Structure 1
Amino acid sequence: MAETIVDDRLWENFHRAVNMSSRELRKWLAVQGAGEITETEPDQAGSELGHRVADILGKRRADVTPDDVEVMRRVVDKVTDLRGGDTGQWEPTAGEDHWRHRLMNVGHDPLSP
């Protein structure tokens, strides 16, 4: 097995917290970057953290860098804080648009199982 710097727990929690695919996340970030007056380039639209998450989703576990590990921790913490509780306990939940959009900016759609 290839050596990795990501422990099993973080890897599993990250992939539970991030329930959008890289493609879905990039599409969401592009939509978020479209404004009434200006529109950013699709690959630059949305949050930098969201783009980092999408990049990590495209990597094999053995290719994750120390910076990626820090991003993974931040995302798990952020989603856990916003959703509340353990990552394994979440049910699809409707909430206010602002709350849902904050979660989707890092790859978690609270309406998805």
Structure 2
Amino acid sequence: MTKSTGGVDEVWKDFHEAVNMTASQIDKWLDTEESRSVGQKSSDGAESVGHHSGRKIVTILGKKKADLSHGDLEWMRKVVGYVKRHGAQRPDGDIEHSNWRYSLMNWGHDPLKE
């Protein structure tokens, strides 16, 4: 038996609190060099995990709660966890042009919008 990971309503609420960018904002961001410059990559030239996540988030944002798949819900939980963990590691100083902010934005969260 696995631990409870929250029902659909809870995951939906947590996801929409963590993701504070719109699908169009994320889509536009993912086209930037800054977006592609950050994150873990499996090899040179590969897409980063966060950039891939951003594309998945755009797809999920286009769905109704009733249309979410099990995989969507799992990804939504992953996004919430990432935003919480990475968000807690805020660096000192100006974050506007920081890799930390860029990484969070790949996951649909712009810390400057808080």
Same fold (TM over 0.5): yes
TM-score by length of 2: 0.71
Q: Is there any run of 5+ residues in structure 1 with no aligned partner, and where?
A: 1-5, 36-43, 85-93
Say which SS state the counterpart of residue 32 (structure 2) adopts.
helix
What's the offset of the Cα at 1:34?
Answer: 7.1
1:111 corresponding residue in structure 2 = 112
1:17 corresponding residue in structure 2 = 18
Q: Is there any run of 5+ residues in structure 2 with no aligned partner, and where?
A: 1-6, 38-46, 89-93
Matched AA of 1:110: P
| CA offsets 1:18-46 (integer angstroms, 9 cap, x no match) | 000000000000113678xxxxxxxx9x8
RMSD, aligned α-carbons: 2.8
Matched AA of 1:28: W
Asked if structure 1 preserves the Cα contact closer than 8 Å seen for 2:20 and 2:110, the reply is: yes
1:70 corresponds to which of 66, 74, 77 = 74
| CA offsets 1:11-69 (integer angstroms, 9 cap, x no match) | 1110000000000000000113678xxxxxxxx9x811110001000110001111111
Tell me the number of residue pairs that the alignment of Structure 1 and Structure 2 aligns: 93
TM-score by length of 1: 0.72
CA distance in 1, matches of 2:22, 2:8: 21
Asked if structure 1 preserves the Cα contact closer than 8 Å seen for 2:36 and 2:51, the reply is: no
What's the offset of the Cα at 1:9?
Answer: 1.6
Instruction: Give the fraction of aligned pairs with identical amino acids, expressed as a percent.
Output: 40
